[in-house]
Amino acid sequence: MLGTLPSKYLKWVSKTLRARDYEEWAKLADEVLQDPVYKDRLEWELAEKILTGDDCNNKTSSTRNPVSDLLDFISSLWVGVMNSDRVDDEFQKIPDHLLIEIFIRVPNSNWAKISCVNKHWANIFQGETLWQAAIIKTWPRGTGSIPRGGSCRRIYTALYASKHVITKDHEIAENPEVVGNAYLLLKEQIEISTDPFPLEIIHGTIIDDFIACGKSRDKAHEMTSQIWLAVIDNMVENEHTFELLKRLVQEGDVFLPYPYSRSYKVQWRVFEKLLTDFRDCFNKVDYFEVLGRAKYKFLHRPPSWLGY
């Protein structure tokens, strides 16, 4: 019966009834307040106070508001839950739309860990609703000249890549989804490519897309170069990447008209990655062949490229 009473009343009993025959009631109230199940009630009572604004009357600062307090409560509750074994008990009564609101406020670097907590949370991350909410929260208005397409998860990934992976640029900020989709397309094709020639087709397609969005040939060439640099910098260092970079070096001898040729910066980065990060992967013949191509293309070469 005591477990059904509000915590405010139990705290009063625990504090006040400490004399004579009433002391037994105070001890029972103490036991209920310390019970793990009743602690859940205390947490949700706090949340209810914050939502209704009752808790704001007890605050000394007038700058706080119920929404800020609720977010602080969610953060503290989240830390406590992730450090305990009570995840299901804490969150099983929360509807999915509120879970999503909590998840999208957690740093996305923790999303992989969250999706592994239980099967239901994994299903939330596999669905479209969470990604749509994340897009609306981070990018509240439609962006880019090309209409949004594909899954909400891919759209969010494209927008995130344009903001955090690719070099910041005013033109990129105006076309985040176009740039992000171009980055994902090039990265995916590079990861599965066994032939360098389709990459030239993709390279030209990206430039044509930027020109179709109203960019000049020079700006389209520059933005495509930034995408290439971001992809190269985020390549996984494995045998497939090593072979692909060697093919890109050989492909650089093919002449293509401006703006469809790869920029000087991109060609430099390909050689730099090969002759520094992958230098130990070369045999002697291939190393001097690539170094010879570098001498032909670039007048000055850093000492770090030498020393096989």
Q: Exposed, middle or buried, 259 (CB in 10 Å: 0-12/13-18/19+)?
A: buried
Residues 171 and 282 in one domain: yes
For residue 81 the two structure tokens come to 């839950």
Token pair 């430039």 is found at 207
- What is the model's pLDDT at position 29? 64
Which of 99, 133, 167 terminates a domain? The answer is 133
Measured distance between the N- and C-terminal CA atoms of the chain, rounded to whole angstroms = 80
Instruction: Say which range, 65-69, 101-105, 115-119, 263-267, has the weakest mean pLDDT.
Output: 65-69
Neighbours of 254 (CB within 10 A): 11
Is the same domain home to 151 and 184?
yes
In contact, 168 and 143? CB cutoff 8 Å: no
d(CA 125, CA 116): 10
| Domain endpoint, select from 77, 98, 133 | 133
Domain encompassing residue 117: 2-55+65-133
The pair of structure tokens assigned to 259 is 């703006």
Placement of tokens 């045999």 in the chain: 283
249/122 Cα distance (integer angstroms): 42
pLDDT of 124 > 80? The answer is yes
Residue with tokens 């293309």: 297
**81-90, 128-137, 253-262, range with the lowest pLDDT:** 81-90
* Digit-coded pLDDT (tens) for 177-223: 788 888 888 888 888 766 656 778 888 888 988 888 888 999 999 99
pLDDT at residue 179, as a whole number: 86
Determine the Cα angle at 216 with ends 245 and 257, to 5°: 50
Residues in CB range of 26: below 8 A, 6 or more apart? 13, 14, 15, 16, 17, 18
30 occurs within a structural domain: yes
Q: Please give the tally of structural domains in the chain.
A: 2
Same domain, 70 and 38: yes
* pLDDT the model gives residue 60: 43
Q: What is the pLDDT of residue 267?
A: 92
What kind and span of H or E run contains 155? helix 152-164
Same domain, 81 and 104: yes
Do 129 and 154 lie in a common domain?
no
Does some domain include residue 60? no
Report the share of the chain in percent with pLDDT over 90: 13
> Does the N-terminal peptide bond of residue 259 adopt cis geometry, omega within 30 degrees of 0?
yes
| pLDDT at site 230 | 92
Given 100, 133, 166, which residue is the final one in a domain? 133
Q: Which of 100, 136, 277 is nearest to 91 (CA)?
A: 100
- Please state which of the ranges 142-146, 151-155, 268-272 shows the lowest mean pLDDT: 142-146
